[in-house]
Every structure is written in structure tokens, then in C-alpha cells.
Amino acid sequence: MEAKENTHFIHEIVEEDIRTGKHDGAVHTRFPPEPNGHLHIGHAKAICLDFGTAIKYKGKCNLRFDDTNPSKEETAYVDGIRADVHWLGFDWEDREYYASDYFDQLYDYAVQLIKKGKAFVCDLSGEEVRAYRGTLTEPGKPSPWRDRSIEENLDLFTRMKAGEFPEGSHTLRAKIDMNSPNVHNRDPVIYRIMYAHHHRTGDKWCIYPMYDFTHCISDSIERITHSFCTLEFEVHRYLYDWFLDELEVFHPQQIEFARLNLTYTVMSKRKLLKLVEDKIVDGWNDPRMPTVSGLRRRGYTPESIRDFCDRIGLAKRESMVDLALLEHCLRTDLNARALRYMAVLNPVKVIIDNYPADKEEYFTAVNNPENPEDGTREVPFSRELYIERDDFMEDAPKKFYRLSVGREVRLRYAYFITCESIVKNEAGEITEIHCTYDPASSGGNSPDGRKVKATLHWVSAVHAFEAEVRHFDNLLTVANPAESDLDFLELINANSKEILSNCKLEPALRELTAETRVQFERIGYYCVDNVDSKPGKPVFNRTVGLRDEWSRIQKRN
């Protein structure tokens, strides 16, 4: 992958470090997911920063699973995260690490802190620890167990590890400062008892290190030079520094940046998990989900997501990014690459009365006007066709330029046709539109310079195949759920998925393989679903429409 040129405050820091020879000019980053859910577009921003920085400065980036919480972690998440990072286009080579691989070392470090008089075993319950901690405005109260002797602490910690105590009865806590204005520094818990099976260490441990203790030490063990994280970790920085200083180990530099927030999007694993568990969506990879696997299934390209992450840049201040920008990046990429086809989603039959019933001919269609190298294909034509129901109007006003009785339009690549009459069923629905064609307009070219105001897409009825096409809308009814007093579950759009089951598609679409992205002419971009499609029986997901909301927004401003 090419290194990107644009720069931001983080790269300025990195460049300064390289210039001054800090870490001998080395740049070593990591992406540290907790395997307790699948990755979303916010993680993609972090991934692009972590891996992108390593690429730009010819350094390295590790993939490290911060797997400290056995109760919420699953191997399936690990596999999904690996697949997602690869799909986004990044590679960690042989540097796949797990915080759980450091459990022995972390235990030794904890013992070291006890021996220094910097950690103690506390018998307060979780609830009591919270009550003693104080609040933002009130100082904390020291634990009655804070001044245990080093010997007693060592003995108790060893027995915690040996499984002598029940869950919740003891914790190991750092001895920092109960009066600190920062509550994170008020003697935080660093080890807890948990009789839980861990996805990698099995039943070896019944005590587990807390995230804060583990994360900064894992970075140190891996000799991470620049440790990027989101702003909420700024208040943890003192604590991380404290651990690393007390243990006298390698000290990575933490740099915080604002997380990505997107309009109409929930962006927290906890909430996304809720959507999955409550079956509001069909799994983590539902095309409406902002997960990497959902975006992939929807038809997003890794290139468009990387382009988006590039354009939003990095800042220290929280902001809300317009979903239209993400869609703009996608559309720009697909416009250049997606092959065009004809598909009729809401069909009505057209019969060309003066076209021979047994005749069939083929017209040459351009696959991608943006790229001549994509060539052409032959599209079959015959007497009976389908067009979009919307492209016909019975009592058409003057401004309606498409088909109506007595009006002439072009069928793309084929002929000029004129509507002569319509047939309706008992319910009053139009069932047939009868037309005549001008044989002199073959290929859709005007025979005598006469103009038509509309060009319609169509498919030949006998040659078309039927397919399911799925349309999606935003999962949320409001742009910024954080501004609402309602719980996000009450802001769910109940009509975010629509299944069109009677679509008529041109035959060339039949053999497309999963994840192929195409443009249905005049309609939008679509992608072959990677779960429900079968060979010769593709299901299509609407990726994004043709109209570029972002350009409109830009023009307005």
C-alpha cells in the first residue's frame, strides 16, 4: 500500500521523534482490540492510523488482542477481527499478540509492585470499593486494608492465585492516592478473582489483570514507540505512566485522538451487540450495521473506507462526521470501478406490437463509461420487455418526460419506442404497455435527428431472471442519538430493510460471484450478498444510491 501524503498533529509528533532520534528513529505501533465484539467503522479509523503510520514511516504495527476479560471474549471475535483487518488491506505479518500471553509476566510485575509497597490486597467488596472511591467533587477514603504488610500482601496474593478465595472477596489494588482529583488514580484495582474459562489460557488462572494494568504493560513489553488511543484514555495516562515508572520498564508514548462519530450510526460494541442479541438486525454482518463485516456485505470497498479515514483526518476534539461523506467516498470509488448493468426492480410489461414474436437480437452495451478497458457486453432484446413501473405514467403532466400514451422514449442501447395503449386488470393496475418501435433507431440512435427526452433501462422478458434485491435505510431515525433523551433502542428505524422479490435482471448478472459490486443503470450501486447468494442465484444488496448528497451539502455551504 502507498503511504498517504496528508499529515496531521500525530504525524508531526512522529516526525519530530524521528528527527531527534528518539527510539533510534524507530516507529512501532499496534492496533489493540478487545475481542468482545466485532470491529466497526470507528475501529477502521484507528486501524488506518496505527497501520498507516507504520507504513508511512517504514515501521511496524502489531495486532494485539487485549483479552483480559474472559467472560465477554470469544474466539469467533478474534477470527472476525483478523479477517476484518486483512480485508481493510493491512497486515501484521507474524506480529499477532495477545495480552493473555503476558499473564505470567503481568503477575510478576504485580508481585514487584507489592514488594515495593505499591500494591495491596484489599478485602472490600466491589460495591465498597466504589463507595470508598469518592466522586469527582469528593475525595476518596482509604481502604482499611491499605496498610497491610508486604509479607501479608504477598501471602494473600499468592493464595488468590491458588484459588483459595471466592470471587469478589479480594482484589489487588495499586497504592496511589485516594485524594487524587482523578478518580482513576484512587488506588485502582489491578487484579480480581474470576473463576472463568479464558479463550486462550483455559482454566490456568482464577485471577485476571485489569485492562488498565494490562494495556500499558503490554505496549511496553512489545516496545511500542507510539501508542495511539482515543480521548477517553487521556485520564488514564497518569496511571499508565505510574505503572511503567514504578516498574522501571520501557515507556511508550501515548497520544490521544478523537474517536469517530457518524450521523445516524450507533458506534459502540455494547450497543451493536444489543442490536444483534435483540434480533433488531440479522447479525453483526447485517448490511445495515456499521461493522466492517456489515459494510463489506453492503458493498463498501476497503479503498473507500481508507479514503474516508484519510479525509476525516485526526483531531483532539470530538466531532460528528456526516454519513454522506462516507457514502461520497464509496460512490467515487464505485463510479470508477463498478460495471453497469440493467435491472428492473418494480417491473411492468412492455409489448412491442410491431416487433416479430419469434425474433431475438443483441445490442452492444458499454460496461463502464469511466473505463473503456472494461469493454462491452451483448444484451438480448425481444418483443416483450420489462421497464420500471415508475417510468410510465397514465395521466402524465408536461414535466413527466418518460413513457405515457402517445409519447416516444429511447430504450437504452436498443430502439425508440412509442406507447400506443395500456391494459389494466380488474384492480385497475396496469398489466401491459403496448408500444411500437422504430426499426430505423437500432442501437438507440436517432434515425433523423429527432429527439426524445428520456432514455429508459429495460430487460427482455424471456431472457431476464428473477432475483431478490434488498434495500436499506439508516438504522437510526435521528442523526445524533447522543442529543436525544431517549435510549437508542427507541430511536430505531422500524423500516430500515425492504425486500424486493420480483426484480427482473439482465442475464449477465446471473453468474456474478459474492461481493461483486455493480451499478444498476439509473438506480444505484448494488453488491452480491455474501451470505444468501447461491451459484446462478445471486441476491443483491443496495450499496448506495447514485445521487451524491455530499456534493450537494458542499455546494450549499
Q: Considering only 26-34, 388-396, 488-496, 548-556, which stretch makes contact with ligand ATP by CB under 6 A?
A: 26-34
CA distance 38 to 326: 20
CA distance 171 to 508: 65
Least gap, CB of 375 to ligand ATP (angstroms): 41
Catalytic residue check, 259: yes
Residue in 269, 331, 402, 412 binding ligand ATP, rule: CB under 6 A: 269
Nearer to ligand ATP, 34 or 529 (CB): 34
**The cell 488491506 sits on which residue?**
89
Q: Considering only 42-50, 86-94, 344-352, 426-434, which stretch makes contact with ligand ATP by CB under 6 A?
A: 42-50
Residue in 83, 196, 267, 366 binding ligand ATP, rule: CB under 6 A: 267
Q: Does residue 522 belong to the site contacting ligand ATP (CB under 6 A)? A: no
Q: Does residue 229 belong to the site contacting ligand ATP (CB under 6 A)? A: yes
Strand order in the sheet with 28-31: 28-31, 60-65, 96-98
Residue in 17, 18, 23, 34 binding ligand ATP, rule: CB under 6 A: 34
Least gap, CB of 213 to ligand ATP (angstroms): 15
CA distance 307 to 4: 10
CA distance 26 to 282: 44
Residue in 23, 28, 45, 457 binding ligand ATP, rule: CB under 6 A: 45
Q: Does residue 33 belong to the site contacting ligand ATP (CB under 6 A)? A: yes
Q: Does residue 237 belong to the site contacting ligand ATP (CB under 6 A)? A: no
Query: Which one is catalytic: 269, 298, 340, 407?
Result: 269
Q: Does residue 72 belong to the site contacting ligand ATP (CB under 6 A)? A: no
The answer to whether 220 touches 250, Cβ cutoff 8 Å, is yes
Nearer to ligand ATP, 174 or 262 (CB): 262
Of 348, 400, 340, 412, the residue nearest 372 (C-alpha): 340
**3-state DSSP of 46-84:** HHHHHHHHHHHCCCEEEEEECCCCCCCCCHHHHHHHHHH
Q: Does residue 268 belong to the site contacting ligand ATP (CB under 6 A)? A: yes
Nearer to ligand ATP, 45 or 402 (CB): 45
What is the C-alpha radius of gyration for the chain, rounded to an integer number of angstroms? 31
Q: What is the DSSP letter of 347?
A: E
CA distance 43 to 37: 11
Nearer to ligand ATP, 62 or 368 (CB): 62
Q: Does residue 253 belong to the site contacting ligand ATP (CB under 6 A)? A: no
Q: Does residue 133 belong to the site contacting ligand ATP (CB under 6 A)? A: no
Residue in 260, 281, 325, 411 binding ligand ATP, rule: CB under 6 A: 260
CA distance 539 to 524: 15
Residue in 18, 46, 217, 345 binding ligand ATP, rule: CB under 6 A: 46
**The cell 503511504 sits on which residue?**
3
Strands (E), 389-479: 408-411, 416-424, 430-437, 455-456, 459-460, 465-472
Least gap, CB of 187 to ligand ATP (angstroms): 24
Identity of the residue numbered 347: P
Catalytic residue check, 34: yes
Ramachandran angles phi, psi of 137, nearest 5°:
-100, -20
CA distance 138 to 122: 21
Least gap, CB of 302 to ligand ATP (angstroms): 17
Identity of the residue numbered 87: W
CA distance 467 to 381: 19
Query: Which residue of this chain has its Cβ atom nearest to ligand ATP in the complex?
Result: 42
Least gap, CB of 18 to ligand ATP (angstroms): 22
Q: Does residue 294 belong to the site contacting ligand ATP (CB under 6 A)? A: no
Q: Does residue 52 belong to the site contacting ligand ATP (CB under 6 A)? A: no
Least gap, CB of 303 to ligand ATP (angstroms): 19
Ramachandran angles phi, psi of 348, nearest 5°:
-135, 145
Query: Which one is catalytic: 4, 141, 223, 259?
Result: 259
Residues tagged active-site: 34, 259, 269
The residues binding ligand ATP (CB under 6 A) are 32-34, 42-43, 45-46, 229-230, 259-260, 267-270
